[in-house]
Structure 1
């Protein structure tokens, strides 16, 4: 495997994949010399100790991800760069015949998401979106309860995540040597260096680039790629999306956008963190390590530890059973070997990030929108086609692949 983008997220992913017997890290890539050197040394220390037989030939580090993709001995890549790079890297990786584990949110625009799906399907690649909540018991049980009608027909879903991104207006700062700033920006608009976006060297926090529209979508795409994803899973809408998007009545709050599905279910972007399914006969609240379940006014469960008991009591004869995975990374490796689609396939990631982008577009433009999810087009003049894509700065474009 090759690992692209060696910030905090890929440090954890690298450690996880190195613990799995089905993968071997042979290359790392980052535009910061310190980060890629540290990652290479970490791989060599870990793998060298594990393979005293001499089978391990070392780990190479790269500044340009396309040099990594050019290697014929790399079967799969793990992409954990800032969001604005995900689409290009994934499309180029698919063309290079690599299987792909790509962090969420999938990309920066709705059109980018569709290009990613097309590339993965055309080149017959396995693609896992890093929306790993699907591999956690509490989310699966919550969604199975919803899908099996245990709380009755769903009337609304509250998805509590942060607000939208804002334009980047950070002042220019002096930059220490060792960071390829133009390549960090890549397809995004040219902006001066600021350490808020990419602090030099190895760091143990998530930099704030995600707060700026040029590089991310704020909390809406960051946590929304997790929680809107679970809402979609629970509603059985992995191939669909909302029909109407209604702007917030208080847009300055960064919350309040409402989406209406064809079946009348309302999805509300609310404050806080987590997902709440409201049915006519009960409700379910779920978050990481948290699970609560009511039937009428009676609370049935208040703790994640009760998931198994709830499953045995209410889902023993369930007609709908969802994909089970206890390890998101192992699921990816298993699917690479079997050539099957994983729990968070690229189409699922694309549908989820599309919802996130529709929410953000509502905040950015303040207009009601009508949406054809099958065609991924606005209807009846409610929304503008140019909102669906972002420009890529030369030379970082779709046709810039070396392969």
Structure 2
């Protein structure tokens, strides 16, 4: 079985540091078990990092952990000048709980191996009374909000100004600046997450027969949507809704992308080193532009996705259409993303009140209904 003690610790091999080696073998076995479930390497590494941090906090190894260790660790995560967010703490606790479940599963043999080597065995240290549960649909900080239309335009203008300045100054990095300016516009134009936009290729854009005026960029086929419960990345087709999207992409693809001269000519956002731009790079570039504009420092690229949802709702698009565009399974999630402006809410209220309390045109002057002949 993937991750079993038998496959990782041959009986005829002696080690110099048996305790530390046992812990490393446990983590390697757990990684193998998760890989056989087709979990993302990113997820596996993140979980291993959380478990190693917990072990470092406890200064003990898994067969010595107790439930009290989890409670003290959580208290430490909540303390200090920058306490961890509830979602982060829940993720850390979940990683430790999954690791302990793996170790205590008799099919993998770790409990018996620890009992033979150290006279004790690992137990499940996370339970319903010392771990956080997910009771809220939305745990984001309230200051993380959609950008207004003026803020979105200011961001795009600033990015374009950076390109123009570098280009007229004949600076070497203007192509990267042009790439980044286009990338941010694509995030907003299709409501994409960072990984979704970073993994786009040229062939992910196709025509939409229903809207031929958008040309080759009528549909964006997202292949790296957010996965759930260890599944493969979910796919969705996002139709183009803004008429400026096609010309923006066409200019970049025709005039700028060939200048990178990458071996993989399908890659949409290459770097000078022939690799794709990363999510962390997108975040740092966004932060640079955000700070230059004096926007709230808590804003990040995902706010452009929130802005996309908000502005489509304000423009009268059907909520189900918006939900399908951004790939949400539930309409309630899309509603949480929506931060409609006060003007929009007031106009909706005004229309509703007018329809409810304005007399029909056919009513007589005294308020009675007219008689039909």
TM-score range, shorter chain: under 0.3
Q: TM-score, normalised by structure 1?
A: 0.26
TM-score (norm 2): 0.28
The structure richer in strand per residue is 1
